[in-house]
Amino acid sequence: MAQASPTPAPDAAPPRTIALVDDDRNILTSVSIGLQAEGFATRVYSDGASALKALLENPPDLAVFDIKMPRMDGLELLQKLREQSALPVIFLTSKDEEPDEALGLALGADDYITKPFSQRLLVARIRAILRRAELVRDEAEAAPDEPKSDPIRRGRLVMDPPRHQVSWDGRAVSLTVTEFLILEALALRPGVIKSRNQLMDAAYSDDIFVDDRTIDSHIKRLRRKFRAVDPGFSGIETLYGAGYSFADG
> At 5, is the pLDDT very low, low, confident or very high (cuts 50, 70, 90)?
low
* Of 6-10, 70-74, 198-202, 238-242, the least confident: 6-10
Q: What is the pLDDT of residues 40-97, one digit of tens each?
A: 999 999 988 889 999 999 999 999 999 888 888 889 999 999 888 888 999 888 766 6
> Which residues pair with residue 113 across a beta bridge?
92
Q: Which residue ranges make up each domain of the chain?
A: 17-139, 152-246
How far apart are the C-alpha atoms of 160 and 180, rounded to whole Å? 10
> Could you say which of 1.10.10.10, 3.20.20.140, 2.40.100.20, 3.20.20.60 is the CATH number of the domain covering 152-246?
1.10.10.10
How far apart are the C-alpha atoms of 247 and 198, rounded to whole Å? 18
Residue 8 pLDDT: 52
CA dihedral sign of residues 238, 239, 244, 249: negative
> Which residues pair with residue 19 across a beta bridge?
43, 63
pTM tops 0.75, yes or no: no
Helix-helix angle 25-37:119-141, to 10 degrees: 60
Query: Within a 13 Å sphere around the CA of 240, how many CA atoms are in the beta-carbon half?
Result: 0
Q: DSSP of 24-86, one letter per residue? A: -HHHHHHHHHHHHHTT-EEEEESSHHHHHHHHHHS--SEEEEESS-SSS-HHHHHHHHHTT--
Q: What is the pLDDT of residues 150-207, one digit of tens each?
A: 889 999 999 998 777 899 999 999 887 788 889 999 999 999 999 988 888 887 765 5
User: For residue 26, what are the CA distances in angstroms to 10, 43, 54?
Assistant: 32, 14, 21
> Could you say which of 1.50.40.10, 3.40.430.10, 3.40.605.10, 3.40.50.2300 is the CATH number of the domain covering 17-139?
3.40.50.2300
